[in-house]
Amino acid sequence: MAVPKRRKSKSKVRSKRSHQAIGKPNLSSCKNCGSFVLSHRVCPYCGFYKDRVVLQPKVKADKPEE
């Protein structure tokens, strides 16, 4: 197995890690209740997907229903 010849400096390690941040998720708004939801997933607040109810949410969301 290949072994690195030199230890990477703090600066090299930190500059490499500067690009490793996790990005924000791409959120879209629910067509029914307008809350932010992940796309291609059932809305966790109202249980809607593709303009119809597919499940009842387990916990009542503290978001106001509008």
| Binding-site ranges for Zn ion (CB under 5 A) | 30, 32-33, 43, 45-46, 48
> Cβ closer to Zn ion: 20 or 26?
26
Beta strands in the chain (DSSP E): 27-29, 36-38, 48-49, 52-53
> Cβ closer to Zn ion: 13 or 54?
54
Burial of 45 (0-12, 13-18, 19+ CB in 10 A): buried
Is the Cβ–Cβ distance between 53 and 47 less than 8 Å? yes
Q: How far is the CB of 40 from Zn ion (least distance, A)?
A: 14
Q: How far is the CB of 62 from Zn ion (least distance, A)?
A: 14
> Cβ closer to Zn ion: 13 or 53?
53
